[in-house]
């Protein structure tokens, strides 16, 4: 059973309680900027009221100061007249918005899954376990808020609302009035002044604010965890749950809800990019496999064509032999045929002994080997084969340039073609 959870408390003095009502209420008829709302759970959010009167709290904090100030002012325009007028003339808001969060998405989903596993392993009463889970969450928040004013002498919580329908851990928003004073005794709406006064911290400046905030967060995080633990134990007595344990994330301060959501979105985007990369890699692998299969098919077709060509050549040799047997009476034609064959063999020998100059030969042989062994050897090995083959010389020990070799080869091929035609005519005559 999941028993380790985080608890965080964050204050926001930039947004008044009135200014964030649309966000907190999650009215389904309003198009919220926050898209991380599960509207099917919005009905589970609750209001926690009757904690304290906002107007009476302001009167208690500023009433005496406003009265004393107005009594010393002779000019009417310098008088405030009321606490409400005094508050309107001040910079900033007289109240703070607190956000208190229990756990996070991962830990809370695990707790819910553990409850289902123990109470409904066959998943027959999913809705009942779900209802009890959110009832325990809201009761824990309610008890926490109801004890807030007793724990904090210089802070007053007037009302709160829970949000259990958003991404991340279940959390709540509350309106809090800071009831502190400046060093000169003037009423102050600053949270830091209220906390320094509450914990009797004399250290001024940033160090004093940090000390006060640390004490306050330790106090409130512990209280939230304690109330939430008791709430779940009361809601699920048959499970004999152990008290929840407060853990820290190791960060200097806890993440607020907006930062947590931002990080979750970034993680989700990274997961999506990873999936896209894996799919792209799989497509590439499939393409390579398909190309390999196609190359194998082409190779097989080439081998079949080569065998067929060999059969045709064998058939032609048989026919030529029969023609020679039938034309044995023609000694003149036979002698001419032998002469042509002898000359043709000499031309072939010259062609075989033909060599290219080093650079041109290497290039031609490289491309030849590359085409022949493209599925077997890489470019480096093909080049080594080409360089080795390029060291061949003509039978007379001479070398020729690429242009000379090309022209010589063309002439040789032309002679061979002429000799072949003459031989063909001779063969035709013999066959006839």
Phi first, then psi: give them for residue 196, nearest 5 degrees: -65, -40
3-state helix, strand, coil in the chain (%, to 5): 65, 10, 25
Using DSSP, state whether 256 is helix, strand or coil.
coil
Asked if residues 362 and 387 have their Cβ atoms less than 8 Å apart, the reply is: yes
Phi first, then psi: give them for residue 363, nearest 5 degrees: -65, -50
Per-residue model confidence (pLDDT) at position 255: 47
Asked if residues 3 and 242 have their Cβ atoms less than 8 Å apart, the reply is: yes
Instruction: Please give the full DSSP string across 280-292, using - where no structure is assigned.
Output: HHHHHHHHHHHHH
Nearest to 111 by CA among 90, 142, 137: 137
Asked if residues 181 and 188 have their Cβ atoms less than 8 Å apart, the reply is: yes
Of residues 354 and 130, the one with the higher pLDDT is 130
Angle 402-431/257-326 helices, nearest 10 degrees?
40
Q: Which helix (H) or strand (E) holds 309?
A: helix 257-326
With cut-offs at 50, 70 and 90, classify the pLDDT of residue 93: confident
Could you give the residue ranges of the DSSP H alpha helices within 72-188? Answer: 83-89, 105-119, 126-146, 148-151
Rounded Cα–Cα distance for residues 354 and 390 (Å): 11
Q: 299-330: per-residue pLDDT in tens?
A: 888 888 878 777 777 777 777 777 677 767 66
Per-residue model confidence (pLDDT) at position 251: 45
Q: How far is CA 170 from CA 152, 173, 265, 346, in A?
A: 23, 11, 17, 95
With cut-offs at 50, 70 and 90, classify the pLDDT of residue 390: low
Provide the strand spans (E) within 217-338: 245-246
* Candidate from 4-8, 231-235, 257-261, 299-303 with smallest mean pLDDT: 257-261
Per-residue model confidence (pLDDT) at position 32: 57
Asked if residues 9 and 221 have their Cβ atoms less than 8 Å apart, the reply is: yes
Strand partners, 101: 8, 171
With cut-offs at 50, 70 and 90, classify the pLDDT of residue 402: very low
Q: 115-164: per-residue pLDDT in tens?
A: 999 998 887 777 899 999 999 999 999 999 999 999 999 999 999 999 99
Instruction: Please give the full DSSP string across 371-406, using - where no structure is assigned.
Output: HHTTTT--HHHHHHHHHHHTT---TTS----HHHHH
DSSP 255: P
Angle 358-372/402-431 helices, nearest 10 degrees?
60
Q: How far is CA 17 from CA 99, 322, 425, in A?
A: 11, 111, 109
Asked if residues 99 and 166 have their Cβ atoms less than 8 Å apart, the reply is: no
Q: Is 240 left (phi over 0), alpha (psi -120 to 50) or beta?
A: left
């Amino acid at each position: 059973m999941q028993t380790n959870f985080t608890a965080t408390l964050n204050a926001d003095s930039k947004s008044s309680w009135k200014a964030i009502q649309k966000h907190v209420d999650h009215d389904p008829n309003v198009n919220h900027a926050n898209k991380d709302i599960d509207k099917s759970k919005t009905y589970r959010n609750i209001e926690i009221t009757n904690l304290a009167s906002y107007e009476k709290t302001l009167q208690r904090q500023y009433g005496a100061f406003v009265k004393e100030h107005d009594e010393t002012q002779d000019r009417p325009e310098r008088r405030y007249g009321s606490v409400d007028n005094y508050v309107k003339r001040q910079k900033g808001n007289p109240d703070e918005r607190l956000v208190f969060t229990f756990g996070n998405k991962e830990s809370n989903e695990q707790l819910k899954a553990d409850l289902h596993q123990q109470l409904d392993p066959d998943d027959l009463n999913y809705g009942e376990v779900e209802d009890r889970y959110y009832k325990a969450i809201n009761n824990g928040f309610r008890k926490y808020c109801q004890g807030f004013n007793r724990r904090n002498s210089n802070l007053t919580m007037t009302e709160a609302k829970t949000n259990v329908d958003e991404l991340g851990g279940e959390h709540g928003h509350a309106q809090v009035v800071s009831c502190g004073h400046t060093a000169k005794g003037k009423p102050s709406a600053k949270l830091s002044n209220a906390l320094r006064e509450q914990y009797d911290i004399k250290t001024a400046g940033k160090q004093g604010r940090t000390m006060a905030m640390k004490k306050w967060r330790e106090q409130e995080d512990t209280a939230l965890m304690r109330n939430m633990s008791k709430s779940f134990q009361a809601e699920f007595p048959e499970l004999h749950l152990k008290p929840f344990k407060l853990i820290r994330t190791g960060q200097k301060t806890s993440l607020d809800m907006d930062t947590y959501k931002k990080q979750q979105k970034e993680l989700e985007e990274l997961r999506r990019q990873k999936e896209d990369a894996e799919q792209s890699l799989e497509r590439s692998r499939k393409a390579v496999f398909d190309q390999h299969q196609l190359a194998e098919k082409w190779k097989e077709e080439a081998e079949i064509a080569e065998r067929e060509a060999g059969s045709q050549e064998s058939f032609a040799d048989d026919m030529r032999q029969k023609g020679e047997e039938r034309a044995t009476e023609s000694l003149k034609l036979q002698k001419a045929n032998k002469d042509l064959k002898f000359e043709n063999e000499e031309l072939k020998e010259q062609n075989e002994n033909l060599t290219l100059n080093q650079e041109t030969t290497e290039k031609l042989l490289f491309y030849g080997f590359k085409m022949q062994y493209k599925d077997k050897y890489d470019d480096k090995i093909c080049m080594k084969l080409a360089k080795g083959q390029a060291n061949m010389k003509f039978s007379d020990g001479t070398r020729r340039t690429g242009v000379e070799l090309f022209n010589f080869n063309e002439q040789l091929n032309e002679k061979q073609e002429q000799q072949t035609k003459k031989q063909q005519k001779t063969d035709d005559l013999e066959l006839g």
